[in-house]
A and B are shown apart, each in its own frame.
Chain A
Amino acid sequence: MLIKTVDLWKTYTVGTETIHAVQGVSVEIEKGEYVAIMGPSGSGKSTLMNLIGCLDSPTRGEYHLNGRRVSAMSDDELAYIRNKEIGFVFQTFNLLPRASALHNVELPLIYNGTSSGERIRKAKEALKTVDLEDRMTHRPNELSGGQRQRVALARALVNNPALILADEPTGNLDTATGAEIMELFGRLHREGNTIIIVTHERDIAIYADRIFYLRDGKVEKEEDVRHIKNSGN
């Protein structure tokens, strides 16, 4: 079991109001799965993604990632887990604007002390995986949206993480480019990566094998959508 959450809660206090963003979520995700988390805005899917991505700690409940109990870890331990186990892909790409594509991809390796030569080798390899080996020296503002998202994907892949976590990865892309990116996710899944996509669009969610529907901080239902893909969508 790669991911196991047990009765996960996240509660915020905004002024005097208490918001229960995530209310007792228990999910299990196996290694190699391709899962989508779907829900309207305010359903708590971003909060759940932050928890699964180890960017935040739960108020209550347990979270096990790759055999480690991460729900009780300190900030620096979480930073280590994020670096080693998780590759993030964001809606707004979140690349460093002044750094080249290659340097952006190298970044996670810098924070785990990989030597410079090894870093460049791995970063080039990751860029090759996303078909961007000819754009390595370009800065983000010299790349198209689709290319930027592929750089972000290469950055997510470079450390061989246990999990790729994508938050609305096609949200800032046109339909055709979005479809290309989703094809790329599909290919990475077939190559053995575990992928979780957070989205509010069903068209995107059905690229996955399994969809968790989130509403009001709870998992409302779970759907296996493999048959839709196999039926030649």
Chain B
Amino acid sequence: MNLRQQASAFAVHAVLLAYTALALAPIILVIMNSFKERKAIFGAPLQLPSPSTFSLIGYDKVFGDSAIASYYINSITVTGGTIFFTLLFGSMAAWALAEYKFRFNTFLAIFLAIGIMVPIRLGSVALIQLIAQLNLINTLTALILVYVAQNIPLAVFILSEFMGQIPKDLREAARCDGLSEYNIFFHIILPLLRPALATVAVFTMIPVWNDLWFPLLLAPARGKQTITLGIQQFLGQYITDWNSVLSALATAIIPVLILYVIFSRQLIRGLTSGAVK
């Protein structure tokens, strides 16, 4: 490597490092200060917590609010339920659209594709009335149903692409082996679709976990809030209590960061494999 190349490599890393710092600084700042006592938060916000400034008082307040555990349980239930049904129903529909010829095949594919571009949020006025008529207001079921409806189009789209990559011979070998169409799907296709399902699961998980709109509209009652809504309400309530606010933010951030670290390879691979085009 000559001097010029070294210099340009250095410049590239300088730019990327600077941007990475910009991306991470606010997050680190919040997490760092959430472990400090009030005086240190204001006096020396840029310093790491030291033995003299370390404090968990904010977390005491956050976890003292017994609801926080239920926020998590609700979020996990809603996200888990949404992922399960989105993957199941989405892959079933993708299989039928990819494999079988019937009159409304193209129509159905386009019908489902509308949902990729048009946000379901815009139907909120009628949706809230529908959920009320179904007696599902303030239930997690309502959230799951809406999120499954919201995520099915993209799931079908991505899974159809992957379905096309499973060799046709394999399905025909299974037909020669005497498997029913149902068994071909559940015993051959679904197991082979596992990497694609993981990608779709990650794509589904993040917006659902982070959503504020539908929990606010459909299930705002005490005991039914998801973590995003719960934290939002908690923050509104304790806005002047900086220890609590920072701890609440950190409480919401840390699990997502852990999940992200675990799934980032999956996610980035999904994004870069051209699944979304």
A joins B in a complex:
no
Please give the residue numbers on chain B whose beta carbons come within 8 Å of chain A beta carbons, in ascending order.
none
